[in-house]
Amino acid sequence: MKFRSNTGNGQHGLSLVGFMFVIVIVALIAVLGMKVVPSVVEYTAIKKAIATAKSNGTTAREIQDSFERQRTTAYIDSVTGKDLEITKTADGFDVSVAYQKKIELVGPTSLVIDYVATTGNARPQKAE
């Protein structure tokens, strides 16, 4: 008669409590992503809009007006044409913008993201 040893026959896998813990973590990450992604999409729209406005305008006012036209069609709410920092350079103009986006999470907690976009090489100062 053979006797089996219990040392190699332990169960493997994820318990119900472990599975619920993993589901909660994945859900929290998904909710955070759903709140942050629209802000990132708006930031990329702003970067494209300032690049297009720079190429369309020959004066600071034309650049602001071009940005304002794009702002209404690209659903940009965080920045206006007056918020643009337009700097005269030897090559024309550099357009930059810096702003903060506050995203409400749960209760009194929120997430603040500092966005900085520029058409030049130098990074502008953060928004305060």
Q: Domain coordinates of the chain in residue numbers? A: 18-118
pLDDT at 98: 95
Please give the pLDDT value at position 124.
53
Q: What is the pLDDT of residue 12?
A: 75
What residues of the chain score a pLDDT lower than 50? none
Which long-range contacts (C-beta less than 8 Å, at least 24 apart) are formed by 124-128? 124/85, 124/96, 124/97, 124/98, 125/98, 126/98, 126/100, 127/98, 127/99, 127/100
pLDDT attached to residue 120: 78
Global confidence as pTM: 0.77
Q: What is the pLDDT of residue 64?
A: 93
